[in-house]
């Protein structure tokens, strides 16, 4: 038959330098075989994608079923659950901010190195400034 390259089908007649009229139809058969094999590869790819798609949709259905198994929520019960979650988050945040970090003490406030007061630093301190006139 012939060899398939990236751009051109090379038949045996073309390799040996013979004119194409000696072996008519080789190019058509080779391109037909190449098209059939490409279609076969495409069918395999499509079937693998369909399997992956069905598996993904099954995962989504599983998670939706899991949510629905808990029953119907009334508006008041749903609001109570949301309020409880918000309260738990706020308590956890306050514990992190309040210094309850595994026995570590709370960090001391920064002080000015000149006057030892809090609220400013030595660059902005007004104590003991000398006015040069």
Is 127 among the domain residues? no
What does pLDDT average to over the chain? 75
The SS3 of residue 73 is: coil
Token pair for 8: 């051109």
Residue 55 in domain: yes
Number of structural domains the chain divides into: 1
Encode pLDDT of 72-103 as tens digits. Answer: 778 888 888 889 989 998 888 887 776 545 55
**Whole-prediction pTM:** 0.30
CB within 8 A of 110, min separation 6: which ones? 118, 121
Q: Is residue 104 part of a domain?
A: no
Q: Which pLDDT band holds residue 17 (cuts at 50, 70, 90)? A: low
- Give the β-pairing of 2-4 and 9-11: antiparallel
- Would residue 39 count as lying in a domain? yes
Radius of gyration of the chain (CA): 40
Q: Is residue 119 part of a domain?
A: no
Q: Which two tokens stand for residue 76?
A: 């008041």
User: Residues 21-51: pLDDT tens digits?
Assistant: 445 566 777 778 888 889 999 999 999 999 9
In a domain, 133, yes or no: no
Residue 54 domain boundaries: 2-95
Which alpha helices (DSSP H) does the chain contain, by range?
Answer: 12-15, 26-68, 75-97
């Amino acid at each position: 038959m012939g060899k398939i390259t990236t751009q051109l089908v090379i038949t045996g007649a073309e390799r040996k330098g013979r004119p194409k009229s000696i072996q008519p139809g080789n190019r058509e058969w080779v391109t037909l075989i190449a098209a059939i094999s490409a279609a076969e590869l495409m069918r395999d790819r499509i079937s693998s994608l369909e399997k992956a798609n069905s598996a993904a949709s099954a995962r989504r259905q599983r998670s939706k079923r899991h949510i629905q198994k808990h029953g119907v929520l009334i508006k008041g019960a749903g609001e109570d659950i949301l309020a409880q979650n918000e309260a738990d988050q706020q308590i956890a945040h306050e514990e992190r901010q309040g210094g309850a970090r595994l026995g570590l003490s709370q960090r001391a406030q920064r002080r000015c190195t000149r006057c030892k007061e809090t609220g400013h630093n030595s660059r902005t301190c007004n104590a003991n400034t000398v006015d040069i006139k």
